[in-house]
Amino acid sequence: MNRSNLSRCYGRGRSLAVFVALLANGCSTLPSSGPTGIEIRHAAEKPSPFPFTLVYVTSAATLPPPPGLPSQTLPSPPLQPTDLLGPGDVISITVYEAGVALFGRSAIATAAVGSAAGADTSSSGEHLPPARVDDAGYIRVPFVGRVRAAGRTVSELAALIQSGLRGMSQDPQVVVSVDRSITNSVMLAGEVTRPGRLVLDTNRESLIDAIALAGGYRGEAKDAVARIQRDGKTFEIRLSDLLDVPAEDVRVAPGDRITLVRRPQTFSVLGAPNRDDEITFPRGRLSLAEAIALAGGPNPNQGDAAAVFVFRYVLLPNGTEQPTVYYVNMMKPGAYLLAQRFVMRDRDVLYVGNARANQVTKFVQLLSQLFVPVATVRASVP
């Protein structure tokens, strides 16, 4: 080999080395839509200011539990009588008397007037004015005085009033009825057809029952959240969860304040899919397979089907949130079956990792954009 050929080979080798060096450095500095799958997996193993738990979804046992209503979230209220009285209730009292009447004319006078007129001589009760249970839980009854009504049923209150009238009236009989119930009712507000106070007829009505009795939700049930205030605490339940799993429906309790709010479920799509967007759930429950389909799947020119991740904050039993990332390799056939059982949650982030090979492609495309015009100009010069 002569000196000129050796020089040309050396020049070509040096150019190749420079090209490889530029390729290595350029790939690491090219813009990217996010980390690759390998980078995410390595980040989970190293100490980080934002640590997270990486879960490899490889079997049904590694799938996250579907959303539901924990039994400790909304305690089941104790059953109480439907005629239990409390402050604010308005009641009616009727007193039936025989012989000497304390509240009306005597039975003898009534019989005499009735015989002379040829009318019915059967006795009728004396209706006292409606009484409201005051804030302290008491009412006032003529000839009896101040009587505690709160915490008693109507039959217990009637017996107490009847006992107080003995000795002043001959064989009094007392009937108590509720005109307006505050104690045995719930308040419904928000996106409900007929907001207002709802009296519980059986005290066994569930949340779905109460909403139905109020005319139902005015929008789509998949977007509805019921906020329940009970005993100074606030609980939130998504109606779609109760409709999908009726066994988790909860019983409302007297005094509950229920507000229906519209809060659609969404998930964000980032990385290298065919669509970067915030997508609203089309139905109450959405699987990972459906979410990937809504996102258009991994971009064949940028995305890596073997690097599909779901970022989520998981609520732990102690009340803290654990940053968790679920990894699914969609290049494996079984992953498509697991994706059908993987239930997405509100505010999830679906991330499709960038393919490492695409960085080389980007760099080659960048070089071609730089050098092709120069080569074209040289070719055109005679």
What is the rounded distance in angstroms from the CA atom of residue 257 to the CA atom of residue 319? 24
Residues 166 and 164: their CA atoms lie apart, in Å, by 6
Half-sphere exposure (Cβ direction) of 51: Cα atoms closer than 13 Å: 7
pLDDT band at 63 (very low <50, low <70, confident <90, very high): very high
DSSP label at residue 248: G
Residue 360 has pLDDT above 50, yes or no: no
CATH class entry, domain 185-262: alpha beta
- Round to whole Å and give the CA distance between 304 and 350: 13
Which residues in the chain are classed under CATH 3.30.1950.10?
Answer: 90-180
Choosing among 2.60.98, 2.60.40, 3.10.560, 3.30.160, the CATH entry for 26-67+285-365 is: 3.10.560
Please determine, for residue 373, whether its predicted confidence score (pLDDT) is greater than 60.
no
Amino acid at 124: S
The predicted structure's pLDDT at residue 356? 65
Residue 164 three-state SS: helix
**What tokens appear for 162 in the block?**
């009847």
The pLDDT tens digits for 95-113 are: 998 766 677 654 444 444 3
Taking residues 136-140, report their average pLDDT.
95
Distance CA(82)–CA(80), nearest Å, equals: 6
What is the DSSP-derived secondary structure letter of residue 343?
A: B
Kindly report, as residue ranges, where domains of CATH 3.10.560.10 are found in the chain.
Answer: 185-262
**Is the CB of residue 301 less than 8 Å from the CB of residue 324?**
no
CA 80/CA 256 separation, integer angstroms: 14
Q: Name the DSSP letter for residue 317.
A: T
Output the DSSP codes for 260-290. Answer: EEE---EEEEEESBS--EEEE-SSS--BHHH
* Structure-block tokens of residue 216: 């139902």
18 has a pLDDT exceeding 60: no
Query: Cα-flanking dihedrals φ and ψ of residue 195, to 5°?
Result: -70, 155
Alpha carbon 231 to its chain's center: 19
Q: The domain at 90-180 falls in which architecture? A: 2-Layer Sandwich (3.30)
**Residue 279 pLDDT:** 95
CB 351 within 8 A of CB 304: no
Q: What is the DSSP letter of 86?
A: -
Instruction: Put residue 37 in one of left, alpha, beta given phi > 0 → left and psi -120 to 50 → alpha.
Output: alpha
The whole-angstrom separation of Cα 192 and Cα 243 is 17
Pick the closest to residue 204 from 83, 76, 79 (CA basis).
Answer: 79
For residues 285 and 221, give the distance between their C-alpha atoms in angstroms, rounded to a whole number.
12
Q: What is the DSSP string of 175-187?
A: EEEEEE-STTEEE
The more confident residue out of 317 and 312 is: 312
Average pLDDT over residues 13-36: 53
Phi, psi of 60 (to 5 degrees): -65, -30
**Cβ atoms 65, 317 nearer than 8 A:** no
Residue 187, exposed/middle/buried by CB under 10 A (0-12, 13-18, 19+)?
Answer: middle
Least confident residue range of 99-113, 135-149, 184-198, 245-259? 99-113
Cα 76 to Cα 105: distance, rounded to the nearest angstrom: 51
339-349 tens-digit pLDDT: 999 999 999 99
| pLDDT 10s digits, 183-237 | 999 999 999 999 999 999 998 999 999 999 999 998 888 899 999 999 888 888 8
Q: What is the pLDDT of residue 298?
A: 82
Nearest CA among 300, 313, 295, 284 for reference residue 351 = 295
pLDDT given for residue 121 in this prediction: 43
pLDDT tens digits for range 294-310: 998 887 777 888 999 99
In this structure, how many other beta carbons lie within 10 angstroms of the beta carbon of residue 20?
10
